[in-house]
Amino acid sequence: MSDLDAEQPSASGSPEPSVQNFELRRERLKERIYAVITMLAVVVGLAQNVHTRHSTAVLYVTGTAVGLWLATLVADMQAHRVVHQRLANRREVRNLLSVSSPLLSCTAGPLLMIALSWVGDVDLSTALWIGVGVDVASMAVWGFVGGRGMGGGVLPSCVAGLTDAAIGSGVVMVKVITGH
């Protein structure tokens, strides 16, 4: 099957399942990277503030993720209505929810580190900086996996991973340089 065949709709008029799966994976990855970059900026800001409390950190991390998620849903629903001249049906809403769910999953690392700090295992600022490092590393992993998924060899995939990590590190450096 050629690349052109893969993009053709089936007899029912909808894209083939493999094309739908590819598009869903692409959209979810895009949303995850966007969410991690945003979360990096929030967590660095919290880590830099010596007055940050555990409750404040949880509120900001959760609020940021939920706010991004809701904004994405509203934008997707409006775009759907403009393009299709109708509201999304149940299947389309489920797809929109599936695509946007990585926006919520980006809270897992920072919230886990905040919880570890809350029980006394590590200072809050240190925990938040560890969360930043984990998020940058996750960007590197996603870049590497993405490179492999595009059929790239190990070297191009490593370059993709390092590029994503550099982008995440750049966000961190800009936030650190600009300060409080």
Which tens digit of pLDDT belongs to each residue from 40-87?
A: 999 999 999 989 999 999 999 999 999 999 998 999 999 999 999 999
CB distance 130 to 113 below 8 Å: yes
Phi, psi of 15 (to 5 degrees): -60, 155
HSE, side-chain direction, 13 A CA sphere, residue 73: 16
CA distances for 146 relative to 28, 40, 41, 162, angstroms: 12, 20, 23, 12
Angle at 37 between CA 31 and CA 40, to 5 degrees: 135
The encoded tokens of residue 115 equal: 């919880």
> Which of the residues in the chain have pLDDT under 70?
1-19, 180
* pLDDT score, position 2: 36
Q: Can you give the pTM of this predicted structure? A: 0.78
DSSP 8-state class, residue 22: H
**Token code pair at residue 149:** 């998924």
Positive or negative, the Cα torsion across 41, 47, 50, 51? positive
